[in-house]
Amino acid sequence: MTDRIHPDAHARLALEANVVVLPDGLSREESDAALRTLLPGVQGLVVRRQLPDNLFDTPAPLCGVVRHGVGLDFIPVAQASARQIPVANTPAVNANAVAEYVFAAMFAMSRQLAFFDQEVRQGNWQSRQTAGAKTADLRGRTLGVIGYGAIGRRIGEIASQGFSMKVVAHTTTPSRLPADVEALSLEALFAASDFLVLACPLTPQTLGMIDRRVIAFAKPGAVLINVARGPVICEDDLACALTAGTISGAVLDVFEVQPLPVDSSLRKHPRVLLTPHLAGITQDAERAMGMLAVATMLALLRGERPDNVVNQEIYPKFKKA
C-alpha cells in the first residue's frame, strides 16, 4: 500500500495477505524509488498517491492495482492494461462526503464565516450590522455542476431537495441527467450560476478547461468550488479573476501542484479558502473506501473479475454457448 488505510480495512486485508505500507513522510522521489524496489515481490498494489508513469516497466507478479478513491489519474492505466494488469477504483463510496464538503464551502462563503470569525476575534462585534449586505441564502440560487457522475449527482440531490436551489450541469453525458437538471454549455453554465462546482475527472479534455476565456462568462458574484483536480483550472487565470472581482470567491481543495507551493498567489488571496485535498476524507468515507478497496483487492488476488475494474477490456471475451 502506498499509504495507510482505515484500521478496520487494514486488519481485514492482513487476515489474508502480507501487507507492506510505504513509510510516512517520504518525498515523491523517495516513494517512487521504494515502490520500484518493492514491486518485484508484490501481487497487489493499493494506491493513494500518484504513481510514476513508467512504474509497470518494473517486472512484477501483479494480480491487480486498486485505487483507494475515484480519480484514475493517479495510475498509468494504459500502461497497466498493456501488461494485462487489472486496475480498479472505489466509485461512489465517498460521494456523500465530497458533496457535504461542497455545501460546507458554500455556507462558508455565502455566510462569510471566516470574515466574521476574524471580526469577533478582533473585538469588532458591530460588524454584525454588515451581515445583511455581505451574506445570502442558498435557497433560490443557481448551482452549476461541472461533471455529473456519482459526486455531481449527490451534490445536485442535496441542492435541489435540501435547499430548493436550481441545478444546471455541464457533462459529456447529458442524456443521463435527471429531468429537473438542465444541460448547459460551459459558457452558459458560468453565466447562469451563483455557485460553480467542479466535480469532473482530469482528462486530456478537462485539463486547463477553466481558463480566463471561460471565467469571463461568470455571473457577477459567483463563487467557484473545486473538488475535482487542480489542473482542471488555470490557477493564474483564476487568481487574476478573483483580484478583478470577476469571480467573487473560491474554495479550493485541489491544486495544479500539490502540496500548494509556498509562492502560490492563492495562499494570501483574501477571496480564497484553501484545504489540503480532504473533501472526500471523513471517518465514514475512509472506512467505506478502505473496505471496498480491500474487498476488491482480495477478489483480484483470487483471480476474480470485480465489476469496479475499469479496464475490463484486458479480459478475454468468451462466446456464449
Q: Does 245 share its domain with 113?
A: yes
| Confidence category of residue 73, pLDDT binned at 50, 70, 90 | very high
Phi/psi of residue 77, each to 5°? Answer: -65, -40
The pLDDT assigned to 243 comes to: 96
Instruction: Quote the pLDDT of residue 98.
Output: 97
Do 287 and 174 lie in one domain? The reply is no
Q: Is the pLDDT of residue 319 over 60?
A: no
Number of domains in the chain: 2
d(Cα 135, Cα 184) in Å, to the nearest integer?
27
The string of pLDDT tens digits covering residues 90-134 is 999 999 999 999 999 999 999 999 999 999 999 999 999 999 999
pLDDT of 65 strictly over 80:
yes
For residue 188, is it within any domain? Answer: yes
- Say whether both 235 and 120 belong to one domain: yes
Distances, alpha carbon 192 to alpha carbons 26, 77, 99, 166, 221, in Å: 44, 36, 21, 10, 11
**CATH number of the domain within which 227 lies:** 3.40.50.720
**What is the span of the domain harbouring residue 146?**
95-274
CA distances to 107, 127, 136, 222 from 130, rounded to whole Å, are 17, 6, 12, 20
**pLDDT at residue number 316:** 87
Q: How confident is the model at residue 318 (pLDDT cuts 50, 70, 90)?
A: low
Does 200 fall in a domain? Answer: yes
Do both 182 and 266 map to the same domain? yes
Q: What residues form DSSP beta bridges with 210? A: 233
Residues whose CB is less than 8 angstroms from the CB of residue 72 and which lie 6 or more positions away in sequence, other chains included: 87, 89, 201, 310
Task: Say yes or no: 29 and 147 in one domain.
Answer: no
Least reliable range by pLDDT among 109-113, 211-215, 265-269: 265-269
Is 65 among the domain residues?
Answer: yes
Residue 319 belongs to some domain of the structure = no
Judge if 52 and 194 occupy the same domain.
no
Residues 254 and 147 in one domain: yes
Regarding whether 189 and 154 lie in a shared domain, the answer is yes
- My answer on whether 105 and 39 are in the same domain is no
In a domain, 122, yes or no: yes
For residue 64, the SS3 value is: strand
Question: HEC profile for 217-247?
Answer: CCCCCCEEEECCCHHHECHHHHHHHHHHCCC
170 found inside a domain: yes
Contacts of 56 (CB under 8 A, 6+ apart): 62, 76, 79, 80, 83, 85
pLDDT class for 321, splitting at 50, 70, 90? very low
257 shares a domain with 146: yes
Which tens digit of pLDDT belongs to each residue from 151-202? 999 999 999 999 999 999 999 999 999 999 999 999 999 999 999 999 999 9
Residues 246 and 149 in one domain: yes
Which strand (E) or helix (H) includes residue 88?
strand 87-88
> What's the confidence (pLDDT) of residue 317?
77
Domain membership flag for residue 1: no
How is residue 244 written as a grid cell?
A: 478583478
Domain assignment present for 131: yes
Q: How confident is residue 320, by pLDDT bands cut at 50, 70 and 90?
A: very low
- Residues 256 and 309 placed together within one structural domain of the fold: no
- Alpha-carbon distance 46 to 84, whole Å? 17
